[in-house]
Amino acid sequence: MELYQLRYFVAAAESGSVSRAATRCHITQPSLSQQLKKLEEYLGVRLLDRLGRGVALTDAGKALLPRARRLLSDARDTEANIKREADGGHGSLVIGAIPTLAPYLLPPALKKVRASNAHCEVSVREDLTENLVEALEDNEIDCALVSTPLENELLEVEVIGEEELLLALPPAGATKVSTAVTLGELRNLPTIRLEGTHCLGRQIQGFCSTRRLAPRVVCRTTQLSTIIELVSLGVGVSIIPEMAAAADRSHRCRYVRLRPAAPSREIAVAWRQGRTRPLAAVRFVESVAANLRLGVHSFVENGLRRSRDS
């Protein structure tokens, strides 16, 4: 049973004539009659009695008419709502993000998405890069915020921003460091390192290796918040992302640049190739990119100025 067959049936029932129904539906009379016959054969009942130039509903036809009208109305509503909701970004949004990005980039962007898409249900998955890649391949998430490099033939990776990596120091007086640290000075400082299970940890290790640095590691951990707390207690120093420094409201750490050639990382969004990108996900990524352009880098001067004043 097809919707167009129901439409032809309703037109014939309401107009009382196959010819008038054909005109109303913009179809030839023989074609409409043929489709009505197929509908009757499918249902196994006669729906219309052919009476010369007109038609009359049988009992089965009278039973079908209100149901057919309801089905056609529901179909029209579905068509209109699907387009409206797709254009409005309704539905669900599943975002992935690595742990060293999620706390800093997700909340403001998701708040903006929710403000403009109140009916959008949002889920967040914080995980390591390898697990997010697998989730993208399996279509479990719509997109993922990651850091480069990331090469996978099934994914499209777009760089949306970059941030500097800063050196986190204990409060003034705990170390003899001013507003910048040279690579030579870093060699002699006790260091707290992010574990290599994180891509950021591997990036920092790579930065040190290419510059032939072998910092004196006194502690390893998997959480940036733990690193900042340890630094504030004077256990050691650590290289952390600019946005993590910007989010530190305790003011118990100082943040300085590494000189020369300060390390940095690219921030990217990964999509599954071949998938239609949900509008809510596109808007989310646009919001993240805008926040990166406007917000994070403003910390550099303000934060470093605070370090100089402490």
pLDDT of residue 214: 73
pLDDT of residue 87: 58
What is the overall mean pLDDT for the chain?
A: 85
Task: Give mean pLDDT, residues 273-298.
Answer: 82
Enter the pTM of the model.
0.67
Distances (CA, A) of 282 to 22, 67, 296: 45, 40, 20
Q: How far apart are CA 132 and CA 280, in angstroms?
A: 19
For residue 300, pLDDT beyond 90: no
SS (H, E, C) 247-302: HCCCCCCEEEEEECCCCEEEEEEEEECCCCCCHHHHHHHHHHHHHHHHHHCHHHHH
For the domain spanning 164-264+301-309, the CATH number is 3.40.190.290
Q: Which CATH class is domain 91-160+266-298?
A: alpha beta
- The answer to whether domain 3-88 and domain 164-264+301-309 are alike in fold is no
134 band by pLDDT with thresholds 50, 70 and 90 = very high
For the domain spanning 3-88, the CATH number is 1.10.10.10
Q: Where are the domains of the chain?
A: 3-88, 91-160+266-298, 164-264+301-309
pLDDT of residue 158: 94
SS (H, E, C) 103-133: HHHHHHHHHHHHHHCCCEEEEEEECCHHHHH
Convert the pLDDT of each residue in 237-259 to its tens digit.
998 899 899 888 888 888 888 88
pLDDT of residue 181: 75
Task: Give mean pLDDT, residues 47-71.
Answer: 92
Q: How far apart are CA 101 and CA 128, in angstroms?
A: 11
pLDDT of residue 306: 45
For residue 84, pLDDT beyond 70: no
